[in-house]
Amino acid sequence: MIYRAICYCTHERMQDAPESVVFIQAATRDAAAVRLTHLLADIWDVPEASVDFYNLNDTHELYANAVGGAKSGDARYFEVGSQGGAPIYLLNDAPLFLLPPKTNRRLLNAWKKLYTTPDFESHEQF
């Protein structure tokens, strides 16, 4: 199962670092939480206790809450809200993909496709 979370670090060295949208694959929500904590602590070179996150949502939740519906395909992973019935996509900052290679390619391609659609300029951005 793919999970998406908003992650941040409370370590003093990282206090000015922005939050990061992170994708991770795990069998359960608990496993995703543990994996996020371990991997981000290693990547950021901080103690695990200083890694935190919120909105840990799985594929089913992301798809169910997407206003773009099934026609949006994997773009639903990048919806962060809506305005006037249209989806708002995560486009301003690159997410961190902590995924197996095949899944990583799939989501990266979906994210890149948001930039190459003819109506890209009309996409609301977060």
Determine the 3-state secondary structure of 59 from DSSP: helix
Over residues 9-36, mean pLDDT: 95
Query: What φ, ψ does residue 113 adopt, rounded to 5°?
Result: -65, -30
pLDDT tops 70 at residue 27: yes
Residue 46 confidence (pLDDT) above 60: yes
Mean pLDDT score across all residues of the chain? 89
Residues 50-102: pLDDT tens digits? 999 999 999 999 999 899 888 889 999 998 888 888 888 887 778 999 999 99
Distance (Å, whole) CA 32 – CA 58: 9
Higher pLDDT, 47 or 65: 47
- Measured in whole angstroms, how far is the alpha carbon of residue 84 from the centre of its chain? 23
| Domain that includes residue 17, residue range | 2-125
Looking at the structure of the chain, the number of domains it has is 1
What's the predicted TM-score (pTM) here? 0.88
Strands 79-83 and 51-58 come out as: unpaired
